[in-house]
Amino acid sequence: MSDLASLEKRALTGLNACPDEAGLRDWHTQYFGKQGEVLLAIKKVGEVPPAERRTYGQEANRIKELLTTAYDSALARQKEKALNQDLESAALDVTLPGRPVRRGRLHVATQDMRRITSIFADMGFQVYRSREIEDDLTNFELLNMPPHHPARDMWDTFHTTTPGVLLRTHTSPGQIHVMRQRCPKPIRVILPGMCYRYEAITTRSEIMFQQIEGLAVGDNVSMTDLKGTIIAFARRLFGKDRQVRIRSSYFPFTEPSIEVDMDCIVCSGKGCGLCKGTGWLEIMGAGMVLPIVLKNGGYDPDRFSGFAFGMGIQRISMLMYGIDDIRYFWANDLRFLEQF
């Protein structure tokens, strides 16, 4: 019994002397661990003479309960103290305004693509998406460029390791896809998307860039419809006073083919740095769809006619914002991208 009394005293003194949580845990191991003194004392009940056994057992249990409660509350106090210390040392002013989350934005190419798309949508053009991986047949042959046709040199091509499979060099193969799907119904679509060319990268040319192709097929679709569409588009995008000039050109899949210029948005035709003194900016290639191409799309060229145009989105953005280097678009430099 006197062993029990001294155990109680020692344990309580030790508990009160614990400086921190780690100390408390050590204390707990010492008294309540597998070889802990309290548990050993309880086990000793078997060695006590039978007459004293009951009292001994009761006393041992009382001490066990008492120490357990004392330990629990000491631990709770210690945790509270640590928390308060922590709150004081790393004081946090919850009334300060929060830091704003940085908002993302759409890439300038996406913004302009959507802007241009919505202008054509207002004019009744649907959006038709077609594949970026094309076959030689659709990218060239069905557009009137048989193998070895010299006009293929206009588009330096990325070929894949699969013969006849390539990255489209323009959105024009989409003309074939949409015609074959829609014929003999009339068509008024734009075909937006990425194109690829195996070119030296310079300030003016990239190996990837976006185009928007336009295609209208129907009865009596004429060059004046093409002109009217382009002028309306240029004025919606660049301002109502824009003048448009049409030059004769060549594309294998249109006849006649034209190149469309717009009077310079900086100098309105007087001549400046942007238009290199000419007063004009080139905005797209276009023309009347060649009968053989209509036929390849499933349309009877004696009944139907059509116009097509194609423009580079990045070129348009460069004109709109005065960007002088096309390489900025895919360089992922936030200093550039955050300006839009």
Residues 31, 309, 328, 329: which binds ligand PHE (CB under 6 A)?
309
3-state secondary structure of 126: strand
Q: How far is the CB of 338 from ligand PHE (least distance, A)?
A: 30
- Window of 56-64, 178-186, 283-291, 327-335 that interacts with ligand PHE by CB under 6 A: 283-291
- Residue 188 pairs with which residues in a beta bridge? 216
Q: How far is the CB of 257 from ligand PHE (least distance, A)?
A: 6
Q: How far is the CB of 156 from ligand PHE (least distance, A)?
A: 12
**Per-position x/- string for 238-267, each x denoting binding to ligand PHE as judged by CB under 6 A, each - no binding:** -------------x--x-------------
**296 belongs to the binding site for ligand PHE (CB under 6 A):** no
- Window of 50-58, 61-69, 232-240, 284-292 that interacts with ligand PHE by CB under 6 A: 284-292
**192 belongs to the binding site for ligand PHE (CB under 6 A):** no
| Beta strands 187-196 and 126-127, pairing class | parallel
**174 belongs to the binding site for ligand PHE (CB under 6 A):** no
- Window of 35-43, 72-80, 112-120, 306-314 that interacts with ligand PHE by CB under 6 A: 306-314
Q: How far is the CB of 193 from ligand PHE (least distance, A)?
A: 12
Q: How far is CA 193 from CA 117, 132, 251, in A?
A: 11, 8, 20
Angle at 173 between CA 235 and CA 331, to 5 degrees: 65
SS3 of the chain: helix, strand, coil, percent, to 5: 45, 20, 35
**Per-position x/- string for 207-226, each x denoting binding to ligand PHE as judged by CB under 6 A, each - no binding:** ------x-------------
Residues 173, 174, 252, 287: which binds ligand PHE (CB under 6 A)?
287
Which residue in the shown chain puts its C-beta closest to ligand PHE? Answer: 310
Q: How far is the CB of 239 from ligand PHE (least distance, A)?
A: 24
- Direct distance between the N- and C-terminal alpha carbons of the chain, in angstroms, rounded to an integer: 86
**206 belongs to the binding site for ligand PHE (CB under 6 A):** no
**196 belongs to the binding site for ligand PHE (CB under 6 A):** no
Q: Would you state the torsion angle of the CA atoms of residues 258, 298, 217, 188, taken in this order, to the nearest 10 degrees?
A: -110
Q: Would you state the torsion angle of the CA atoms of residues 15, 17, 21, 24, taken in this order, to the nearest 10 degrees?
A: -30
3-state secondary structure of 275: coil
What is d(CA 161, CA 269) in angstroms, rounded to the nearest whole number?
A: 48
What is the number of other CB atoms lying within 10 angstroms of the CB of residue 110? 13
Alpha helices by DSSP H, 239-333:
291-296, 313-321
Can you give the binding site for ligand PHE, defined by CB under 6 A?
170, 172, 213, 251, 254, 285-287, 308-310
